[in-house]
């Protein structure tokens, strides 16, 4: 078995695609409309969805509000220079909700950014 994707429901597909592609640098891997089910699935990620995990953005037509709930935590992305990534995200219009720095307690450097739907994205400094 292998990890394929995580699905999140989005309020505005275009705003969500813009955030994940322009702010976080992912690419749209596929997008399919399902008229009989009245929803659209858009897969975004950094690699090929055949081999790399990705995020499924599910847009239910006509639905503009969701409750994220207290069971969902966040999506985590590794980055080589968390300070530069946060600076770039800010320049592209993203909202950093926790500035980069050491996790308390601990030494791992993390930051958080919020997507247009209110989902939290954790950025983690990774070392080669």
Active site residues per annotation = 122
SS (H, E, C) the chain: CCCCEEEEECCCHHHHHHHHHHHCCCEEEEEEEECCCCEEEEEEECCCCCCCCEEEEEEECCCCCCCCCCCCCCEEEEECCHHHHHHHHHHCCCEEEEEEEECCCCCCEEEEEECCCCCEEEEEECCC
């Amino acid at each position: 078995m292998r990890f394929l994707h995580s699905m999140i429901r989005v309020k505005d597909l275009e705003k969500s695609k813009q955030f994940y592609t322009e702010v976080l640098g992912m690419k749209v891997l596929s997008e399919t409309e399902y008229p009989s089910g009245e929803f659209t699935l858009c897969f975004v990620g950094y690699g090929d969805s055949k081999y790399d995990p990705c995020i499924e953005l599910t847009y239910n037509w006509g639905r503009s509000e969701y409750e994220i709930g207290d069971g969902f935590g966040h999506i985590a992305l590794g980055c080589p220079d968390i300070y530069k990534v946060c600076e770039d995200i800010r320049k592209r219009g993203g909202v950093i909700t926790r500035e980069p720095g050491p996790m308390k307690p601990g030494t791992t450097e993390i930051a958080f950014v919020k997507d247009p739907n209110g989902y939290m994205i954790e950025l983690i400094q990774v070392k080669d």
